[in-house]
Structure 1
């Protein structure tokens, strides 16, 4: 291993764009955030060291047995999160980046590309959820919060977001445009003049610092490995990647599988399946490759732990052989979760899909299982178990590998032809994952809030007669829009009771699951008026009120708190009956 002459950022990225530098399959996916990219560029502009790089000179003979990938330029969290597979000319070697891929990719995005990540709370399949942004430097202003340690105001902005207001100077300079400047003197002055920015020392200095950081200074130091022994190279790779953003064992598993699978490309197969599970057929999930790989290990009947000792050729051969079954089982499991009413917002533990997929695999379930009348009872039993496990805190957290192994063992030994709920729960309890609930846990559930992570699951436990394959919304029984101090006072609520109203409006006893269309029609109508219109017959109205614990529903706002406490008690009793907890001793909030 030898030290090589340092290069400028521009020189290093030019080599990347000539495809002279590639990534070996053992490299993880790009994982840096927009903030990490801006901090890296800020460090370069301040003249700080950014660490050395480790490159591997791969001979043509060695290159034939490995898979390589190009560097990302335009990152898109949904549509383009992964680098493309590289095609090496026959008989060619290459230079592989063993350490520094995240930094090189980040600089490539910063100077040549774009970064598109999902906006908070946006739906995954929304066309506006992933605005395409490029890195810009504020030439006029310093960072708003310099306590964060940044000297320069660097931000990822849409091109429209970087455009100046009418009559304002064009202060946002696209970082990549520094490559178009002819020099670091007159060209910068001309650029500032074109932007109507006075040639102040601050503006000129900021752009000059960027020019020097990218095109003049040579911070890109690297070491070159020439050894062709893949085991030695892997050892070097693991050691140099022990810091920074941790390299997970799932990354190594997929990387090693890429080289060990004989017929399929593991990396491409996993990528494709993750995308299909999450976004096809109307699904909206956020399962990761870790979950897919864990399920693949489960179905292949090998140790589910992400340990290097499990990445043997024998185990990888089993995983590859079982891959078609893994793929089918996961797709059906995701569809089943969708029919249970789950999506990326309310599925609180993605790992629950693994035992579902394994069970479907064992029973040889086809697509007909998902909606056949003959399997309705089994689906209901599975749904109730899934929901209970999601409602209970801590089930899918620590000790996951042990839990999955125990459940796998029970399902493998099952001969009943249906999902063995009792046996599975017994095995879960044996490893500290009991699905029983005590009184304090029941009370905690009753205080869940609107749009909380577990709220949907609890409501589906309470009122299981709904066809959750259709769109259902969490709905305020008494409309939230009526709960402002001004509106409550106007409705005649005494001032000393208004705070009680405001504290209760978003809690579980004022929530129900309502079909999407019905929820839209209901809007801010009081529940008594809406029910009268939605259920014109007395019989249907009485059934709906009884099934949803809405007996005694008042017509106006005056009796809201009394209704709230009465429904809370009915919900407590229903939860105790459903979840198996010991009934609580009646108290002031829960009159007998």
Structure 2
């Protein structure tokens, strides 16, 4: 039976006192700032927020499952996981089966903040993740995409900029006092800061919008829900999957991870998988592995099924095998990622994360630990893996695209059936040929490789072949031999070149013949010198 859940404030009060929580089968918060803004715009336009699905947990079943808090202060790097609730006490609470993204968005917008990485900045820099809060422009106008109101996540500095076209009100301030007091403060600020630039009609419009926002949050009973009281996890899982199989669904791997969470007996699958992803992504210069990759690695390394994300692969028996082998799987993935880092790969130049999986299976099958990375007896084996990896990443056709599950299953069989203790590079390449994924390079392909440019994900792999013998664990960067800034039109004209020659030189300046690998510390010194001489290291003149 559908029930009325009251106002948005009443909903968020339940979130705050943890009488409304998330079950472990829920995925992480995934909405972007734009989606949150659109939700608030829709609500203010009078559109329904949609019905939530709740699961009433009886006291005797509180300890049977694991629960998490809703996100409030989201940080893309440092706080992108829901926090586990360790002690629920004796109070009654309800778990949300459908509606997490909407409730979390309301919580972030009205009581929290959003730290999203700025494009072009380093993940390791705290400045790359400024704190932003949700604001509404009280002078905003409708846009072409159907948004009636202008909501944006802004830093405090940007929100203080005021004009006759923008006056930003921090949405969370709607809780700071009664509406009459807020309106009076608004008018006083408008008069003090903008004076006669804002006429009476515009002030009145801003007051009305503020009152409308206040009514939406405090007064209107916009929340409705359906409550499931059955305590059977199997039934709840069925409901959960059904609810998330239409509209904007969870990824299939999210649903299967939910099943794994419910079926592990001794370990917390959610915590284990997410923490492993975080640990792997911090190795070397950093990677960008997803939980999908780690989950698929679990299937492959456990010798489960066909490596695919299929429901039959996630039965109780298989998940028990995965849990039993989890420590060994973690070790293999960690050693493999460290190996890739020693080859110089990272999130910026590893073209296909799936290339990790065959190597990880080999490391797992041989039970290699971190000593494999340094022992001289394995030097040739490591070289063979690197050769195979680089060739697979250089193929323009994309080795790691279509038919991936079939390819991985076949490679797994070749490694398992290998009669020696070395990476079976020839057997694997023969299999790949039979799958139409040959690692042999024709003349046309080599010509195409020569045209690779700075910024292409294949460029590092190719340069690592050309700069043979380098110790790539020293963090090499791709850099221009002759600074790109030298190839500007005025300078080239002074050399007596015609327009066609100038354009040709400008294009060639960013291509393979003008690229090199520099050790990170040396490249940083070069950048500093470039700044001293008035030029960026990427060649752009000041």
Q: TM-score, normalised by structure 2?
A: 0.91
Residue 242 of structure 1, CA deviation: 1.4
Within the alignment, does 1:180 sit opposite 2:183 as a pair?
A: no
Return 489-498 or 86-95, whichever deviates more.
86-95
Residue 60 of structure 1, CA deviation: 2.0
Q: 1:467 to 1:229 in 2, by over 3 A?
A: same
Structure 2: stretches of 5+ with no match in the other structure: 531-542
Residue 100 of structure 1, CA deviation: 0.6
User: 1:81 & 1:89 partners in 2: Cα distance?
Assistant: 22
2:231 matched residue in structure 1: 228
User: 1:129 & 1:413 partners in 2: Cα distance?
Assistant: 48
User: 1:71 & 1:134 partners in 2: Cα distance?
Assistant: 17
2:250 matched residue in structure 1: 247
**Out of 359, 362, 366, which is 2:362 matched to?**
359
User: 1:239 & 1:511 partners in 2: Cα distance?
Assistant: 52
**Out of 166, 187, 192, which is 2:187 matched to?**
192
**Out of 408, 418, 438, which is 1:414 matched to?**
418
Q: 1:481 to 1:317 in 2, by over 3 A?
A: same
Within the alignment, does 1:160 sit opposite 2:164 as a pair?
A: no
Residue 169 of structure 1, CA deviation: 10
User: 1:272 & 1:518 partners in 2: Cα distance?
Assistant: 34
User: 2:250 & 2:529 partners in 1: Cα distance?
Assistant: 53
1:369 matched residue in structure 2: 372
2:144 matched residue in structure 1: 147
Residue 524 of structure 1, CA deviation: 11
1:392-403 residue pairs with structure 2 within 5 A? 392=395, 393-403=397-407
User: 1:118 & 1:245 partners in 2: Cα distance?
Assistant: 24
Residue 63 of structure 1, CA deviation: 3.0
2:298 matched residue in structure 1: 296
Return 318-327 or 304-313, whichever deviates more.
304-313
**Equivalent pair of 2:117/2:123 in contact (CA under 8 Å):** yes
**Equivalent pair of 1:481/1:524 in contact (CA under 8 Å):** no
Residue 514 of structure 1, CA deviation: 2.2
**Equivalent pair of 1:472/1:515 in contact (CA under 8 Å):** yes
User: 1:432 & 1:7 partners in 2: Cα distance?
Assistant: 59
Return 462-471 or 331-340, whichever deviates more.
462-471
User: 1:169 & 1:192 partners in 2: Cα distance?
Assistant: 16
User: 1:516 & 1:52 partners in 2: Cα distance?
Assistant: 53
The alignment partner of 2:135 has SS state of strand
User: 1:31 & 1:134 partners in 2: Cα distance?
Assistant: 17
Larger radius of gyration: 1
**Equivalent pair of 1:45/1:212 in contact (CA under 8 Å):** no
User: 1:237 & 1:258 partners in 2: Cα distance?
Assistant: 13
The alignment partner of 2:131 has SS state of coil
1:441-590 residue pairs with structure 2 within 5 A? 441-520=445-524
- CA offsets 1:424-460 (integer angstroms, 9 cap, x no match): 1111222222222333332322222111121111211
Within the alignment, does 1:216 sit opposite 2:219 as a pair?
A: yes
1:225-374 residue pairs with structure 2 within 5 A? 225-280=228-283, 282-303=284-305, 304-374=307-377
- CA offsets 1:30-73 (integer angstroms, 9 cap, x no match): 11111101100111111112211111112123333211111111
User: 2:181 & 2:504 partners in 1: Cα distance?
Assistant: 68
User: For the aligned residues, what is the CA RMSD?
Assistant: 2.2
**Equivalent pair of 1:134/1:156 in contact (CA under 8 Å):** yes
**Equivalent pair of 2:237/2:259 in contact (CA under 8 Å):** no
**Equivalent pair of 1:283/1:335 in contact (CA under 8 Å):** no
Within the alignment, does 1:204 sit opposite 2:203 as a pair?
A: no
User: 1:91 & 1:219 partners in 2: Cα distance?
Assistant: 29
Residue 488 of structure 1, CA deviation: 1.1
Q: TM-score, normalised by structure 1?
A: 0.83
User: 2:292 & 2:446 partners in 1: Cα distance?
Assistant: 32
**Equivalent pair of 1:61/1:91 in contact (CA under 8 Å):** no
- CA offsets 1:341-384 (integer angstroms, 9 cap, x no match): 11111111111112121111111212121122221111111011
- CA offsets 1:496-545 (integer angstroms, 9 cap, x no match): 4211111221112221222234434556999xxxxxxxxxxxxxxxxxxx
User: 1:484 & 1:30 partners in 2: Cα distance?
Assistant: 46
- The count of corresponding residues between Structure 1 and Structure 2 is 520
The alignment partner of 2:231 has SS state of coil
- CA offsets 1:80-111 (integer angstroms, 9 cap, x no match): 11111123545555311111111000110010
Within the alignment, does 1:378 sit opposite 2:378 as a pair?
A: no
**Equivalent pair of 1:70/1:85 in contact (CA under 8 Å):** yes
User: 1:110 & 1:7 partners in 2: Cα distance?
Assistant: 18
**Equivalent pair of 1:256/1:311 in contact (CA under 8 Å):** yes
User: 2:523 & 2:176 partners in 1: Cα distance?
Assistant: 55
User: 2:329 & 2:274 partners in 1: Cα distance?
Assistant: 14
Q: 1:458 to 1:93 in 2, by over 3 A?
A: same
- CA offsets 1:435-488 (integer angstroms, 9 cap, x no match): 223333323222221111211112113333221111212122222010110111
1:10 matched residue in structure 2: 9
- CA offsets 1:187-224 (integer angstroms, 9 cap, x no match): 32333323546562332233223212212222211111
User: 1:434 & 1:495 partners in 2: Cα distance?
Assistant: 42
1:16-31 residue pairs with structure 2 within 5 A? 16-31=15-30
The alignment partner of 1:135 has SS state of strand
